[in-house]
Structure 1
Amino acid sequence: MLDQITKPKTITSDTNANAMTYSQYRELVDALFSEGKTTGENQSEAYLEYTRMAIQRMNRWDKVAKVSPEMEERVKKLPPQIWLVLTEAWCGDAGQTIPFMNKLAELNPGIQLRLILRDENPEIMDAHLTNGARSIPKLISLSPGLTKEYFSWGPKPKYLIEKQRAFREDPKGKTSKEFTQEVHLWYAKDKNQSLEQELGDCFSEAFDI
């Protein structure tokens, strides 16, 4: 399978050197929020509230997220790689999924989880669009030398991507707030099982693991 992977065009050694570990990302987000700020140019009250909720969700998943025994064994078999994640502090989907990505990466010392901010890296983001949109989070799996891209995932489980598409085509009387509440209720009930399954599919396709 490894002969089918492609070479990233916009990610360099400087990208990885300037990227954050999960702990550094959490520290940055918490520090900014304590000052009444968030990442990116939009510093509105709405985005600060999104950030507050994302922090709350990350705190929760850091404590309660569980990896299945089957997935744990698969992750431990993965070859060395870098998981580069495009994100922003205010992103609701990032708050729900990145803690689980971190749980997986912690299982294999060969996996380096690194995070970069979307709005500070437009070229990388534009090379990994979802249906033409700069949707985040976006996980990009790269070889240690950054010469190959193994797979990418994001910005959310496929069920939610389809659910969002359907809502945009026909809200059926729901407000955006009501739809968002449904999405986060789904995340709470799903408990990262869909994310685990989809990343497992990525492992199968990229590495036969």
Structure 2
Amino acid sequence: MKDIIKNSLDKSLTYFEYRKVVTDLLSEGKSTGNSQSEDLLHYSNLNETRMNRLEKTIVITPENVERLKLLKKKYLWLVISEGWCGDAAQLLPIMHKMEVLSDNIDFKIVLRDENEALMNQFLTNGGKSIPKLIILDADTLEVLSDWGPRPKEAFDLVKNYKEKHGILDETIKTELQMWYLHDKGLSAQNELLEMMRLIDIQE
């Protein structure tokens, strides 16, 4: 596992490097990933607009700013993502803002299709769902926990829809984006910081 993580870290990007890779590909009419399609390009363009907006509007609550400051150890947040992923577009700006506010979090991103060995270690119900956040000890690269592909309430929303309708269509994609809009990033902040609190206690 450690070799897989080191391999992926060698190919990892900072948040702004990731943004640039996605933007540069879009200027060529391409999305990230091994597959190219009109749909993936459409979603990538939507996400570009979404992330630009969220970078300006997402607020880490004062309480969560204080919780970030309480972290004692150094952590590496390694996220598996792709530019076409709607959940990633909602969540990566939050993680980036949390990194900026904490001296103890280093945030890196890797592309799923370029890091299959890593992705296969962190499947969700057997699927390659992203984004997937892997919490590592910054010094030893030991895996301490993982999180994703979305906050629990949003995860349940999608799960229940699929159980009822058998598919994930445009309706649930719209419902999910509306959920994110109303949630304003609070669920992700709270879940991530509760997880970090528990890890920090154990370390």
- Normalised-by-shorter TM-score class: over 0.9
Q: Any unmatched runs of 5+ in structure 2?
A: none
Q: Which amino acid aligns with 1:55?
A: E
Q: Does 1:100 align with 2:71?
A: no
Out of 127, 131, 139, the position equivalent to 1:137 is 131
Q: Does 1:81 align with 2:75?
A: yes
Distance 1:19 1:75 in 2: 23
Q: Which amino acid aligns with 1:35?
A: E
Q: CA deviation at 1:10?
A: 2.6
Aligned pairs, number: 201
Structure 1 SS opposite 2:80 = strand
TM alignment of 1:37-116, pairs within 5 A: 37-78=30-71, 79-116=73-110
Counterpart position of 1:195: 188
Counterpart position of 2:10: 17
Counterpart position of 1:35: 28
Normalising by structure 2, what TM-score?
Answer: 0.93
Q: Which amino acid aligns with 1:190?
A: D
Normalising by structure 1, what TM-score?
Answer: 0.90
Q: Does 1:149 align with 2:143?
A: yes
Structure 2 SS opposite 1:99 = helix
- Residue deviations 1:82-117 (CA, integer Å, cap 9, x gap): 110000000000001100000000011331110000
Counterpart position of 1:4: none
On the 8 A contact 1:8/1:146 being kept in 2, the answer is no
Out of 196, 202, 205, the position equivalent to 2:198 is 205
On the 8 A contact 2:74/2:139 being kept in 1, the answer is no
Structure 2 SS opposite 1:83 = strand
- The alignment's C-alpha RMSD in Å is 1.8
Between stretches 27-36 and 105-114, larger displacement belongs to 105-114
Q: CA deviation at 1:77?
A: 2.4
Out of 169, 175, 186, the position equivalent to 1:176 is 169
- Residue deviations 1:95-147 (CA, integer Å, cap 9, x gap): 01100000000011331110000111111111111111110001111112343
Q: Which amino acid aligns with 1:158?
A: K
On the 8 A contact 1:10/1:127 being kept in 2, the answer is no
Distance 2:24 2:59 in 1: 27
Q: Percent identity?
A: 37
- Residue deviations 1:151-179 (CA, integer Å, cap 9, x gap): 2110001112111111111129x971111
- Residue deviations 1:46-81 (CA, integer Å, cap 9, x gap): 000010111111111100000011111111222211
Q: Which amino acid aligns with 2:102?
A: N
Distance 1:159 1:146 in 2: 33
Q: CA deviation at 1:208?
A: 3.0
